[in-house]
Amino acid sequence: MDDRKPHGFSTAAIHAGQEADAATGATVVPIYATSTYTQAAPGQHKGYEYSRSANPTRTALETCLAALEGGERGLAFASGLAASNAVFAQLKPGDEVVAASDLYGGTVRLLDRVYKPLGITPRYVDSSDPAEFRRAATSNTKMFWMETPTNPLLQILDIAAIAEVAHKCNAILVVDNTFASPYLQQPLKLGADLVMHSTTKYLGGHSDVIGGAVVGPKKLVDPIAFYQNAAGAIAGPFDSWLVLRGIKTLAVRMDRHGENAQRLAEWLVGKKGVEKVYYPGLKDHPNHAVAKKQMRNYGGMVSVRFSSPEIAHSFMTRTKLFSLAESLGGVESLVNHPTTMTHGSIPKDIREARGVVEALVRLSVGIEDCDDLQEDLRQALE
């Protein structure tokens, strides 16, 4: 692919970093299942020495990720948390992180139970208001961290506005773009400094791989690449190949995810036993205008707060097409219980104060026929 010419998103997803194999002409990037590479003489090689440091399949994925997010360099990790950890590892004792409180439980666990004991202080903001992020910052704040849409309450944070706040505080803004994917929004173009993903989710798209990614400018990504090589949490060649395969259909999948989720969210509103529906595509969502401004569509995630934990538990055990399972972003629909799954590591009093209660259920709406998904929800509610 000629990178000097502009290409549309789907073209980049299919071609960026994925030229025909020079040795065989293979159209699809091969899985380079090798740990080491033969050198002509010490130091004379073809850019690859050892697959922890670099692997051609992983290079293809990293090149594609950078193209989709509009960054100079991408890195592929063994998991989303490995990617997050590599970013937090750039901080030093005494540094502070300002983060939105509605956050994946694994990220909270990493900050509170791994980095806080090392002298890095997280400060959580219980608001989507950029002014609250500014008030939470101190002279020691070196990083702002946010998801948008957030997990699991689907708040939308204004990336451009919070980036401006972060930069005024001489801090960088890192955006976890997992829920949106680069197809729905590109945080770097809105002022963010780094983007991370759990590629397990929408980028992989088929619930068959664990992976993570970081994308951004070389000056910020190069030190993270050093840490990645030193610590070793790299994506293997087969996992890289699976994510690359998933990315090829990302655009068409995200369109379908969004269409299905919008329809189901609207249908769920007002149903018996449903107390509240969280979805940024609903016009009464408090951040609907921001979502409309910075996203292509509103994504495939819908959260529902039922009128009692008993109704929520009954619902989760009665769905047939929606599988009760961890994770999200696959072609199949999933139902998740945040308090016992994704956010179970957060102390009960803290998560409930943030709105993650027993009666809350999170739906990852897949790409099945929407009539069938709606019928499944109907019978589960009854």
Q: Which residues are catalytic?
A: 52, 104, 176, 201
Which tokens sit at 267?
């249908």
What's the number of CA atoms in the CB half-sphere (13 Å) around residue 286?
A: 9
Amino acid (one-letter) located at 231: A
Distance (Å, whole) CA 75 – CA 229: 11
Omega before residue 338 within 30° of 0, cis: no
Element at 316 (helix H, strand E): helix 309-318
Asked if residue 299 lies in contact with residue 180, where contact means CB atoms within 8 angstroms, the answer is yes
Amino acid at 104: Y
Distances (CA, A) of 324 to 24, 262, 368: 44, 21, 16
**Other CB atoms within 10 A of residue 332 CB:** 14
**Cα 185 to Cα 64: distance, rounded to the nearest angstrom:** 16
Cα angle, residue 169 at apex, residues 163 and 170 outer, rounded to 5°: 90
List phi, psi (to 5°) of 314.
Answer: -65, -45
Tell me, what amino acid is at 264? L
Q: How far is CA 217 from CA 1, 64, 222, in A?
A: 21, 15, 8
- Residue 47 CA to residue 84 CA, distance in Å, equals 27
In angstroms, the CA 309 to CA 304 distance is: 12
- DSSP for 360-377 reads EEEEE--SS-HHHHHHHH
CA–CA distance, 309 with 326 (Å, rounded to integer): 19
